[in-house]
């Protein structure tokens, strides 16, 4: 597993994180997904984040960065994320192609580490729940054992756990078919680690704040297309692209806000029946 990454916290005792997820970029900057130009929506989100001028210690990218498996799509992601004043770490989603992802992001100088120590109080652990070629997720024994070693090594730290797939039903029947398939194994492993207070996912293109196994579970809007909550069948939402901030406080609390683009320039093709 990649080496440990340590970051001082620039803003004092609170660690400030930006989550970007599900950018679904293509090699061709003009390509669209369900009617939305994902390159343009990604850059509109980046521009809005820059305009907010918030202090950031870390950016986390929680999967589905590319839609077409291309090196160029990951290069587009890297070029964009370098506009923001903080290091970025990442994990794969079900649409990602890891050989190209690792190659392009590493070559671009984006941090490959999957464990980040933030200041004196927190660590961030990024898990790989991808099962290549299918939309659902699963955590391998290796991933679970590695996570447990990270938690054992730093028992004094609170932990923010990141993965692409959601470990519990989100209320969308069609999306819940594509959730994490072995959440019971994750829950069993975490029983010994009460300082894992918060889990954050991508994948479902929605803003949700749920409770799972006594822990907070957050999901975050995509930078492109949004999926309508509480839908039985594939349904697109017409709300704007978004992103999430997480403030990790030294006492273990997490304060979080989701923002969306204020204009609605990125309207999907509402007649789409899948992708």
User: What pLDDT does 128 receive?
Assistant: 98
Q: How many residues does the chain have?
A: 275
Cα–Cα dist 89/107, whole Å? 14
Does the annotation list 64 as a binding residue? yes
Q: What pLDDT digit, counting tens, does each position of 58-89 carry?
A: 999 999 999 999 999 999 999 999 999 999 99
Q: How much of the chain, in percent, has pLDDT values that exceed 70?
A: 97
> Domain 14-260 has what CATH class?
alpha beta
Mean pLDDT of the chain: 93
Does the annotation list 94 as a binding residue? yes
Q: Report yes or no: 92 and 192 within 8 Å, Cβ to Cβ.
A: no
Task: Quote the tokens at residue 124.
Answer: 């961030």
Does the annotation list 203 as a binding residue? yes
Give 12's pLDDT tier (boundaries 50, 70, 90).
low
Cα–Cα dist 155/97, whole Å? 33
Cα–Cα dist 15/37, whole Å? 33
Does the annotation list 264 as a binding residue? no
7, 112, 175, 252 from 147: Cα distances, Å: 19, 16, 26, 19
What would the DSSP string read from start to end of 253-266?
Answer: -EEEEEEE-SS---
Does the annotation list 164 as a binding residue? yes
Instruction: Return the exposure string of 47-73: e unless at least 16 CB atoms fall within 10 Å of the residue's CB, then b.
Output: ebbeeeebebbbbbbbbbbbbbbbbbb
Does the annotation list 24 as a binding residue? yes
Phi and psi of 174, rounded to 5°?
A: -70, -35
Indicate whether 192 pLDDT > 50: yes
């Amino acid at each position: 597993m990649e080496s440990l990454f340590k970051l001082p916290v620039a803003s004092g005792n609170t660690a400030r994180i930006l989550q970007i997820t599900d950018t679904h970029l293509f090699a061709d900057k003009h390509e669209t997904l369900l009617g939305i130009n994902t390159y343009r929506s990604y850059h509109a989100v980046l521009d809005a984040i820059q305009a907010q001028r918030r202090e950031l210690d870390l950016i986390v990218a929680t999967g589905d960065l590319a839609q077409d498996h291309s090196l160029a799509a990951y290069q587009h992601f890297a070029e964009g994320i370098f506009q923001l004043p903080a290091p970025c770490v990442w994990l794969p989603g079900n649409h990602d192609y890891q050989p190209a992802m690792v190659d392009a992001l590493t070559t671009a100088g984006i941090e490959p580490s999957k464990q980040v120590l933030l200041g004196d109080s927190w660590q961030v652990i990024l898990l790989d729940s991808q099962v290549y070629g299918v939309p659902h997720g699963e955590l391998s024994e290796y991933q679970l054992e590695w996570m447990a070693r990270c938690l054992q090594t730093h028992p004094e730290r609170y932990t923010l756990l990141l993965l692409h797939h959601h470990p519990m039903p989100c209320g969308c029947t069609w999306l819940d078919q594509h959730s994490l398939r072995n959440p019971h194994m994750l829950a069993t492993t975490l029983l010994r680690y009460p300082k894992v207070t918060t889990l954050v996912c991508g994948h479902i293109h929605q803003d949700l704040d749920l409770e799972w196994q006594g822990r907070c579970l957050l999901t975050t809007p995509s930078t492109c297309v949004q999926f309508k909550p509480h839908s039985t069948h594939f349904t697109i939402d017409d709300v704007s692209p978004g992103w999430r901030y997480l403030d990790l406080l030294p006492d273990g609390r997490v304060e979080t806000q989701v923002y969306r683009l204020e204009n609605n320039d990125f309207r999907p093709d509402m007649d789409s029946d899948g992708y």
